[in-house]
Amino acid sequence: MAFSWIFLVVALLHFLFIETRAKVIAGVVSSGQAWSENGTFITKFCFHDRRALFEYETNISSNGRWYFYLDDHWSDSLAETDCRNKIAKARFSVGISATRGQQLVNQWLRPHFWYVVYADPNTCDESPPTEDLFIGYTLTFLNPDSEGNANDHFGEDEKGLLTMYTLLILFYIGGIAYFARRVWQSIQKGGPMHEVLQVLSVAIAVHFLSAFFMFINLWIFKNDGEGSSACETLSEILDVVSQMIMICMLLSMSMGWTLGQVIPHPVNNKGQLGIIALVGGAEVILVLWEQSYEESHYTYHVHENLPGFLLVCLRIILAVLFGYNLQSTLSKERSTLRKDFYQAFAIICYLWFLSFPMLMLIAMVLPEYWRHRVVTIGTIAIQLVALMMLSKQFLSRSLYWEVSTLSSTTLPFKRDRGGFRD
Ligand SMILES: *[C@@H]1O[C@H](CO)[C@@H](O)[C@H](O)[C@H]1NC(C)=O
Ligand SMILES: *[C@@H]1O[C@H](CO)[C@@H](O)[C@H](O)[C@H]1NC(C)=O
């Protein structure tokens, strides 16, 4: 398992893929840059269908404007090579003739992502502007809160995330409180599956911390519209670590680890270590790639971009690998008790491996502003349920307990522990 920690170095994701949120954003645009890019892309934000508000503040007034592109037209505008046609595709624009101003975004049939671009009258000129004007800006995007006042920093695509994370954390704390004592007892007793329980406890603890830091980030974001990128990054790293621990554990178990079969311990097996290293490396690379991809492509269609797609493929390959392992372990298995255990175990593991690909698939048919919520919350919730079910499965005196102790002829020391069964 120590292998997973190597990846801690990696500052990631996303994964989960919460990209930089709108917001309150500050930065600098220049007329020279706008000229060379045919308009400078600033950010995107998902506005509610009515009573949303855009505010800007600049350190200098200018003849430049903020151009707003509707999500439906954005890819057309990216494909457009003619500068004037490109600017003309904007739905509306807000001038920077004063150093501060605001604009109501109102009366759309449904929530939309809006893409903000800076351009000025010289942007489409043949030659670069004679004087490169630098404008420092702060943009604020606000959606209506429950009373209809434009106060809410969350984009429409993120509405409810904080509430859901709050519930998740509470649910987690309840679950941990419920299981902690029994897990601790089992580990102390050195029961037959205490190694699995140790690993699972670490995975759950790391998963919980990941959710907790994301919750803190969202909570800060709710108040200032900026959030805490440290908490966000930490949460993403912890998420990858917990995924890695789970993948290693499930793969090892599917090969018979702790069941006193073929492979006594994963770390003793070079082939398996190789697979784990490969999978871990692939996952980290994909996640990083996906991050930079999002930044450079201004679009947020996780499942439509290549790294996101490969990430989904990786999960499916893992599920197949897992199923194949399990099948070959099962074929060597004569005990019906163990077979029953493996069946229950397999269902939980497929749930865990396939939750992300399944939700990505579902998200494809949903409007864009729903996708993020569905995939993020759905994955975390399903994996949480799977973790709890696994804990229960391992803890319950039922199948697994007996399965592991009854037939441990290959590992004689386990027989001595038989007396500890409760
Ligand atoms: C900007 O527009 C001009 C003409 O309108 C075009 O020739 C040029 O290729 C465009 N540049 C980019 C980066 O799209
Ligand atoms: C506005 O801010 C930008 C970036 O900080 C700076 O380069 C520019 O000189 C400022 N302009 C004025 C008029 O203060």
Residues 126 and 50 in one domain: yes
Nearest CA to ligand 2 atom 7: 134
Which has the closest alpha carbon to 141: 163, 109, 114, 111? 114
In a domain, 13, yes or no: no
pLDDT of residue 275: 74
Same domain, 164 and 84: no
Q: What pLDDT is stored for residue 273 in this prediction?
A: 67
The H or E element containing residue 94 is strand 92-95
Does residue 174 form part of some domain? yes
Q: What are phi and psi of 314, to 5 degrees?
A: -60, -45
**Cα of 299 from ligand 2 centre, angstroms:** 29
Residue nearest to atom 1 of ligand 2 (CA): 136
CATH number at residue 35: 2.60.120
Same domain (yes/no): 130, 275: no
Pocket probe for ligand 2: among 56, 58, 135, the residue whose CB has the most ligand atoms within 8 Å is 135
**Are residues 197 and 262 both part of a single domain?**
yes
Q: Which residues of the chain have pLDDT under 50?
A: 1-22, 260-267, 297-303, 398, 406-422
The range of the structural domain enclosing residue 245 comes to 156-412
Q: Please give the pLDDT value at position 83.
A: 92
Q: Is 166 in the same domain as 239?
A: yes
For residue 135, give the ligand nearest its CA: 2
Rounded to the nearest whole angstrom, what is the distance from the C-alpha of residue 97 to the centroid of ligand 1? 26
pLDDT at position 356 = 86
Pick from 102, 132, 152: which residue ends a domain? 152
| Residue where a domain terminates, one of 97, 124, 152 | 152
Q: Do residue 230 and residue 377 come from a single domain?
A: yes
**Helix ranges, 190-268 (H):** 194-224, 229-254
Using CA atoms, how far residue 34 sits from 26, 27, 65, 122, 394, in Å, is: 17, 14, 11, 9, 60
Atom number of ligand 1 nearest to Cα 82: 5
CA-closest residue to ligand 1 atom 14: 81
Is the shortest distance between the CB of 28 and ligand 2 below 6 Å? yes
Residue 81: CB within 6 Å of ligand 1? yes
Say if residues 172 and 208 touch (Cβ distance below 8 Å).
yes
Q: What is the pTM of this model?
A: 0.76
142 contacts: CB under 8 Å, gap ≥ 6: 52, 53, 54, 55, 150, 151, 152, 153
In a domain, 53, yes or no: yes
Identify the pLDDT of residue 216: 93
What was the pLDDT predicted at 7?
40
Angle in degrees, CA 309, 310, 313, rounded to 5: 95
Ligand 1 centre distance from Cα of residue 79 (Å): 11
The whole-number pLDDT of residue 272 equals: 66
Q: In the prediction, which pLDDT does 294 show?
A: 56
**Pairing assessment for the beta strands 150-152 and 52-58 based on DSSP bridges:** unpaired
Is 44 part of any domain?
A: yes
Of 262, 62, 54, 59, residue with least CA distance to 155: 54
CA atoms within 13 A on the CB side of 358: 12
Q: How far is the CA of 137 from the centre of ligand 2 (A)?
A: 9
Calculate ∠ Cα 23-108-98, nearest 5°: 50
Same domain, 195 and 118: no
pLDDT number for residue 118: 94
- Does residue 302 lie in a domain region? yes
CATH number, domain of 376, equals 1.20.1070
The answer to whether position 419 is within a domain reads no
Nearest-atom number in ligand 2 for the CA of 28 is 4
In the chain, the number of structural domains is 2
Tell me: do 122 and 186 sit in the same domain: no
Q: Per the domain annotation, does 5 fall within a domain? A: no
